[in-house]
Amino acid sequence: MRWLTAAALATPLLLGGVLPVESSLEERWPAAGAWLMPVGEPYALGPSLPGGPSFRENRGVLRARGRVTHQGSDLANGRAGDTVRAVAHGIVLKAARSEGDGYGDHIVLAHRSRDGALHYSVYAHLQRGSMRVERGEVVAAGQPLGRVGQTGRASTPHLHFEVRECADPAAPWELAPVIEPLPFISQRLPTMREDPTWACRYLEWGERAALVPAGSHPDDALSRERWWRMLAHSAASPLQRVDDDAARLRDTLIALGVLPEDAAEAAPERASSWRELGRDVARLHDVGVRLPPGPTEPESLATACARWLGRRVPSDRPRDLAKLEDPPTLGLVCLLLADMAGSRAATALRESRDVDGPEPNRSKPKKQRKPRRR
């Protein structure tokens, strides 16, 4: 696809027919790894609050005589006002009030996966005045978008939710083929670990940001190839598709300035070291990151970093990572990258209580804080 190359970004693409994608926006657009449910419980169509009514699918995608007659899932629990969340990291393609069409107040998000594939998610019939995002905004998985409503052509309060698979990014988003949204998301939910540890929340954060594959364990060793793929999804760059060939990926990261030139002969299969990670994190500071906000409150993040990485803000002095004795693991490296991204969960928790009551470990971005220096 045209838009997957850095050269194509010299002429901004009108994504979905409505949003110009300048390089500055492209470089802040995080990849979508694991997905969440749009309403109710994040991992299933349950209630928004304990003891509340559960959401159910009243109607799915319908086809008749080769034509799609209903383009998504109608999700309802018999009332209006429940929070609608972003199902994955992405950008706001459209956030519009009722325009005389059936969608009513609605939001369209664009998501890019780790392999460069593009999808749209659509949230329609939102409650009037409840939309909390704007066109062109970068959003994180789980971020509140609005509330279930009854605007547009809706006889009862419900969320009309769609997922569309895009083959031509320049074509109007309405022309992208629809797919069954709930089965699609069910296949992409974060891994539910039976024995969660402190590292699991950071590993799930890594899954959502396409940093680690589903099913990863916090103690899994870190090869150079695995680290290079994490770097590719972390760095603020026009890179859209992460190359399957590790050597070509390494060369691309060198060209982007994420890896130094002397990494050209590094063997992808060899284990990465804290010295290499510290060197590369220092370069990430110069390149910038497009990571979503970390999964915990600032104090929890700083405490975990001090306990496991030796400093409350380890990304502030990355060269000190070379002093760590135990080898890097996926859990520790996700913690390190979360420190680079910054934690905005404290604000998210306050806002989620205003909307639906407590919803732990759900983040809503705001202006990024700079790390404290020691």
Least confident of 54-63, 88-97, 183-192: 54-63
Residues 15, 157, single domain; the answer is: yes
pLDDT given at position 263: 94
Helix (H), strand (E), coil (C) string for 264-280: CCCCCCCECCHHHHHHH
Residues 148, 286, single domain; the answer is: no
368 falls within a domain: no
Q: Given the structure tokens 């954060």, which residue do they identify?
A: 205
- Give the pLDDT confidence of 257-314 residue by residue, as tens digits: 999 999 999 999 999 999 999 999 999 999 999 999 999 999 999 999 999 999 999 9
pLDDT given at position 343: 60
Mean of the per-residue pLDDT values for the chain? 87
User: What backbone torsions phi and psi does residue 329 show, to the nearest 5 degrees?
Assistant: -125, 170
pLDDT given at position 10: 56
Residues 208, 347, single domain; the answer is: yes
Mean pLDDT of 10-37: 89
Whether 1 has a pLDDT exceeding 50, the answer reads no
CA nearest neighbour of 82 among 145, 137, 138: 145
Identify the band that residue 243 occupies on the pLDDT scale cut at 50, 70 and 90: confident
372 falls within a domain: no
Whether 177 has a pLDDT exceeding 50, the answer reads yes
Residues 109, 168, single domain; the answer is: yes
Measure the CA–CA gap between 356 and 216, rounded to whole angstroms.
Answer: 31
Mean pLDDT of 20-36: 91
pLDDT given at position 131: 96
Residues 178, 206, single domain; the answer is: no
Mean pLDDT of 181-190: 96
Contact 103, 147 (CB under 8 A): no
User: Packing angle between helix 298-309 and helix 330-341, nearest 10 degrees?
Assistant: 140
- Give the pLDDT confidence of 324-354 residue by residue, as tens digits: 999 999 999 999 999 999 864 433 433 443 3
Q: Pick the residue with more confidence: 364 or 111?
A: 111
Percentage of the chain exceeding pLDDT 90: 73
Could you tell me if residue 306 is left (phi over 0), alpha (psi between -120 and 50 degrees) or otherwise beta?
A: alpha
Residues 351, 241, single domain; the answer is: yes
Residues 50, 179, single domain; the answer is: yes
- Give the pLDDT confidence of 227-242 residue by residue, as tens digits: 999 999 999 987 778 8
Residues 139, 208, single domain; the answer is: no
374 falls within a domain: no
* Number of independent structural domains in the chain: 2
Measure the CA–CA gap between 255 and 178, rounded to whole angstroms.
Answer: 37
Whether 138 has a pLDDT exceeding 70, the answer reads yes
Count the alpha carbons within 13 Å of 76 in the hemisphere toward its beta carbon: 16
Through-space distance between the first and last CA atoms of the chain, rounded to whole angstroms: 46
User: What backbone torsions phi and psi does residue 296 show, to the nearest 5 degrees?
Assistant: -130, 170
- Give the pLDDT confidence of 219-228 residue by residue, as tens digits: 999 999 999 9
Mean pLDDT of 154-158: 94
- Give the pLDDT confidence of 90-114 residue by residue, as tens digits: 999 999 988 677 899 999 999 999 8
Measure the CA–CA gap between 26 and 22, rounded to whole angstroms.
Answer: 6
146 falls within a domain: yes
How distant is the alpha carbon of residue 249 from its chain centre?
22
Domain containing 246 equals 200-355
Measure the CA–CA gap between 271 and 222, rounded to whole angstroms.
Answer: 6
Measure the CA–CA gap between 6 and 353, rounded to whole angstroms.
Answer: 41
User: Packing angle between helix 330-341 and helix 224-234, nearest 10 degrees?
Assistant: 20
15 falls within a domain: yes
pTM higher than 0.95 = no
CA nearest neighbour of 231 among 295, 294, 277: 277
Instruction: Write down which residue in 153, 186, 219 finishes a domain.
Output: 186
**Max avg pLDDT among 20-24, 113-117, 131-135, 360-364:** 131-135
How distant is the alpha carbon of residue 231 from its chain centre?
15
Measure the CA–CA gap between 297 and 301, rounded to whole angstroms.
Answer: 6
Residues 96, 223, single domain; the answer is: no
